[in-house]
Structure 1
């Protein structure tokens, strides 16, 4: 049975504050959203999302709007106040909604099975028996099966070969997890590929997920030793794009990947 649909998180107070101020300044000047969309070359719906606190604005967008509305730097200053380490905050609050709304997700994982592909038993082991945390992870997987909002997202799981051999829980947990990967690969919107182990490549630096939205914009979620970050900075996205080219050049086809996963499940975890 498909997991229950996850509850959408509350909107970020920081994004709501920025959006409200931008709307006040725009309406005070009698400027329409369509005009902002035209001068910034951003679609009208995206401008609306920014003003409603549902989308983060880029600095270049803010600079153009600030100048157009003769805000004398007020909008830029607010945007900078809502920055932390170069990213609008709270950056980690955005991801659950981004993940749910994405048209496509490409997930790279070099240490464990990606969260969206984990069984409950595997997830419970990862989160040290925290049932609430595991349940949240299971609920996120509803996006693989959703029927509204244009249907389920296209999801590509790129998994390092060594993950198949790394024990998480019991042999039974591992066997069921690998069999679940094969089952997921039969979904029309899911691709599972194993990236052959060995060799030095940028993917060794850390796991990440690249989300492509309906308007073709991209947002990435990356895990670090200190914390996870969400970014749409072009330089960050460029690095991840190059990393994905490298990873895909090392990846088996889905058919070959499933054959390898099936073999490891039988020979290593039975």
Structure 2
């Protein structure tokens, strides 16, 4: 049996940033609670940043650097971690961000989003049973009871129901699963009509809003996925979401369209 690969809880780069921030804070004899009050986040969030388990936003870093009278080293280190327009690590920490999110909004123009996929549908794209199991385990954020489940809004192009993935049986099971999920109180699925012109042509993405109302996004590219909390990236995605929502069908009409798609594959 293959050994299960452990997912990293943090990245060395983020750990280094958090360690430097802790040194500067403790040198001034300032408590984490003070930083939390200053930056309007929870003490637990500050602790996760200092332990390298959560990425800090630039606004957070600028406030802390100024309050600690550090003279810029935290800002410089943050900029080093955000070269090429996206934070480091590039992709591996997204499931952690996803699991901690209070709200997720996703746009998909080609396939069903990972959080809504059935095992059979996911297996078409993933290379192993282990990968499928890992994706299915992530679905617990929608139904967990120990903490409030994540609120998910999924905006799907009408085209996702036209592409044959696996087999007609896989498609039927997948669409039935979507319809069932759309009945959950914390899940909203809306279909975006093209109406003669394509929507969201910049690519698929997910925006996560955390408990402290900070945002981080995951964007898909041809080469890899990119995780970013850059304000300019988030602003562009927000504008795209406004356009998509304006063209999205209401929930009940979207559910009717899913039922029509189900008949197509029956």
State the TM-score, normalizing by the size of structure 2: 0.90
Alignment partner of 1:185 is 2:182: yes
Aligned to 2:138: 140
Per the alignment, in what secondary structure is the counterpart of residue 221 of structure 1?
strand
Contact 1:9/1:97, CA 8 A, preserved across alignment? no
Per the alignment, in what secondary structure is the counterpart of residue 23 of structure 2?
helix
Contact 2:36/2:43, CA 8 A, preserved across alignment? yes
Alignment partner of 1:69 is 2:65: no
Match of 2:243 among 243, 246, 253: 246
- Once the two structures are superposed, the pairs formed by residues 1-270 of structure 1 within 5 Å of their partners are 9-127=8-126, 129-149=127-147, 151-200=148-197, 203-266=200-263, 268-270=264-266
Query: Deviations 1:100-134 (Å, cap 9, x if unpaired)?
Result: 1111111110010111111111111122x522222
Q: How many residues align?
A: 261
Note closer, same or farther for the CA distance 1:185–1:63 as it changes in structure 2 (3 Å cut).
Answer: closer
Task: Report deviation, 1:168.
Answer: 0.5
Contact 1:102/1:211, CA 8 A, preserved across alignment? yes
Task: Answer with 96-105 or 75-84: which moved more.
Answer: 75-84
State the TM-score, normalizing by the size of structure 1: 0.88
Return the alpha-carbon distance in structure 2 between the equivalents of residues 41 and 175 of structure 1.
Answer: 46
Return the alpha-carbon distance in structure 2 between the equivalents of residues 58 and 212 of structure 1.
Answer: 13
Contact 1:126/1:168, CA 8 A, preserved across alignment? no
Per the alignment, in what secondary structure is the counterpart of residue 177 of structure 1?
helix
Return the alpha-carbon distance in structure 1 between the equivalents of residues 129 and 183 of structure 2.
Answer: 28
**RMSD between aligned alpha carbons?**
2.0
Query: Deviations 1:63-94 (Å, cap 9, x if unpaired)?
Result: 34334434343333332333331333113233
Return the alpha-carbon distance in structure 2 between the equivalents of residues 67 and 215 of structure 1.
Answer: 21
Query: Deviations 1:32-56 (Å, cap 9, x if unpaired)?
Result: 3344345445554432322122221
Return the alpha-carbon distance in structure 1 between the equivalents of residues 128 and 41 of structure 2.
Answer: 42
The answer for unaligned runs of 5 or more in structure 2 is 1-5
Per the alignment, in what secondary structure is the counterpart of residue 190 of structure 2?
strand
Task: Report deviation, 1:170.
Answer: 0.7
Return the alpha-carbon distance in structure 2 between the equivalents of residues 62 and 187 of structure 1.
Answer: 38
Contact 2:40/2:212, CA 8 A, preserved across alignment? no
Per the alignment, in what secondary structure is the counterpart of residue 152 of structure 2?
strand
Note closer, same or farther for the CA distance 1:180–1:41 as it changes in structure 2 (3 Å cut).
Answer: closer
Note closer, same or farther for the CA distance 1:135–1:38 as it changes in structure 2 (3 Å cut).
Answer: closer
